[in-house]
Structure 1
Amino acid sequence: MALRLVQVNFKARDDAALGRFWAEALGWGVSSEAPGVTNLEPEGVTWPDPAGFYIDLVTVPDPETVRYRVHIDLATTSAAHHAELVAHLKDLGATPADVGQGDVPWTVLADPEGNVFCVLEPRDLYRDTGPIAAVVVDCADPPAMARFWGAAVDSVPQEVTDDHARLRPSEGTGPYLEFLRTPPGPRTWCNRIHVDLLPDPVDTKDAEVTRLRTLGATSADVGQGEVPWTVLADPEGNEFCLLGKG
């Protein structure tokens, strides 16, 4: 069995409008599996192709109450590409964001619903990730998070320090999963993004839930009600969803 990071999920005021922004930003295709849900996937890739990484956007009644500690970093291939992408994103409705980053070589923006994300300067590390370089989780203890998530999903630690940890999917495709030490306490911004995992084969969800709980995951209630997926939280309380079948 294997468990992999398969997508990020945005809670939105308007899934269709936010989906159009991100589809244009990434150059991805758009579909909808149900009212209030917009699905994005790379061109030429169909869910659940293991070579793909996806985005789901779901309209919720009060997204302002959703406070996840996850954001995405976008990759660029050159200084010119970085400048062009930032300009393109602003044309689509992104705005500059100040999260205390100071003078850094990357650009921090917010999408039209206020979700903060970064456009990275060119880095060789991310040359083969696709447009999403990394899914980044703010946390108190990056090494501990790397231990949990390294055991939870099919990934290989690439760098682990007291302040930052980076995991790479073992198949060497898609975005990195990264953990960044951040100060405790409330933030002046919030993101509404969490990660979704998918087992392979897909009918091993129940066994994976049991395994994740032995690693330190706990059940979580985010108001999901009766749903076919399982909502869990990692040891620092970050909610994530386990898709698949029992």
Structure 2
Amino acid sequence: MNILEVNIEHAGYLEKKSTIEDISFELAENELVGLIGPNGAGKSTILKAILGLLEEMRGKTVIKGKYAYIPEQPTYYEELTLWEHITLVKAVSEDDDDNFFNRANELIAIFRLQDAKHHFPSSFSKGMQQKLMIIIAILNKPKLYIVDEPFIGLDPKAIKDFLLILEKERKRGAAILMCTHVLDTAEKICDRFLLMNNGKMIAKGTLSEIRIQSDTDGSLMDCFYKFMERDQ
């Protein structure tokens, strides 16, 4: 069953000026798909289109179920502590799970934030703020994760812990769309790839399919650069 369906004819930020064109893909349950491309390729515009944040868009996106967005730049309430953010999530989501706060404490321990539990995120490092975003997203139990550059600021252990958690979420049935520049990691964890450049999708499929399309047997990075050379 598809959790996300995207069909965008064109979309952008100014009327009559498209940033992305002819974007079409879907995500199924249990699937992790990597959205790959250089700065300015249109990846963030795709995410905003999916989230309904673009006024200039012709097309349609469908999300079946609850979704969670983990932004590249963490956002939080400056007047709330880490734990107060957790409490707010429970109140807003009306989650009646008796284990909600137990799960929250487990995630706080996994990401080693126990000492910062009652501190304000404005005093956190970028990595700590990112961990808070991840914890909030996971507690929401979404059917779809939309993740924008999740590894920036995270230490190696946190990256490993995050990837293990995402694998558990996939087994639960969640679908994950991950925008990342870390191609070696993406190659190891993603089921399929969407390669972007200059506002258009230049290739999509599994690594094997991408290799055939790029006419190379190399890594995901090798394939991507081969497409970039063609697109110049």
Q: So what's the TM-score if we normalise by structure 2?
A: 0.32
Higher strand share: 1
Identify the structure with bigger relative contact order (alpha carbons < 8 Å, sequence gap 6+).
Answer: 2
Which of the pair has more CA radius of gyration?
A: 2
Q: So what's the TM-score if we normalise by structure 1?
A: 0.31
